[in-house]
């Protein structure tokens, strides 16, 4: 078993530095907090569960423009507000051409 002894001054200095870094992060992310809180994003699985549809049906909705999506790297996200509109029937399903 190893015991490490830290001087109280070193510990206080470390605490101050960690607090400064935390404050800097808070300052840098402050402008984006409102945007982050305003837009809730769902992944494919969450959207399928809310709409009670399969992943393939969700893909069809995307392809037909019924439901917009954003892709980051290889992961697809859907706006919760758009999914809720579709659930409420406020977004009519586009009719297929014959």
Q: Tell me: the pLDDT tens digits for 54-92?
A: 999 999 999 998 999 999 888 999 999 899 888 888 765
Count: domains in the chain: 2
Does residue 55 share a domain with residue 22?
no
What does the pLDDT read at residue 48?
95
Please state, in angstroms and rounded to a whole number, the distance separating the CA atoms of residues 19 and 27: 12
Q: Say what the pLDDT of residue 4 is.
A: 80
- Determine the structural domain holding residue 75 and report its residue range: 39-86
Assigned domain for 92 exists: no
Report yes or no on 91 lying in a domain: no
Using DSSP's 3-state secondary structure scheme, residue 85 falls into helix
Q: Please report whether residue 55 resides in a domain.
A: yes
On the question of pLDDT at 35 being above 80, the answer is no
Are residues 24 and 53 both part of a single domain? no
- Are 49 and 81 found together in one domain? yes
Q: Where are the alpha helices (DSSP H) in 39-89?
A: 44-51, 55-64, 80-88
Cβ atoms of residues 84 and 91 within 8 Å = no
CATH value at residue 64: 1.10.10
3-state SS class at 11: helix
Q: What value does the mean pLDDT of the chain take? A: 85
Is there a single domain that holds both residue 53 and residue 82? yes
- For the segment 35-57, the average pLDDT, to the nearest whole number, is 88
Identify any residues that bridge with 72 across adjacent strands, giving them in sequence order. Answer: 75
Q: What percent of the chain has pLDDT over 90?
A: 48
Give CA–CA dist 29/34, Å, rounded: 10
The rounded distance, in Å, linking the Cα atoms of 65 and 60 is 8
């Amino acid at each position: 078993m190893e015991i490490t002894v830290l001087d109280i001054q070193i510990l206080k200095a470390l605490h101050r530095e960690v607090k400064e870094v935390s404050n800097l992060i808070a300052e840098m992310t402050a402008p984006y907090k409102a945007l982050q809180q305003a837009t809730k994003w769902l992944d494919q699985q969450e959207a399928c569960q809310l709409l009670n549809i399969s992943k393939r049906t969700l893909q069809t909705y995307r392809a037909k423009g019924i439901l917009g999506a954003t892709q980051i790297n290889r992961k697809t996200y859907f706006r919760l507000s758009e999914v809720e509109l579709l659930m409420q029937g406020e977004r009519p399903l586009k009719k297929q051409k014959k």
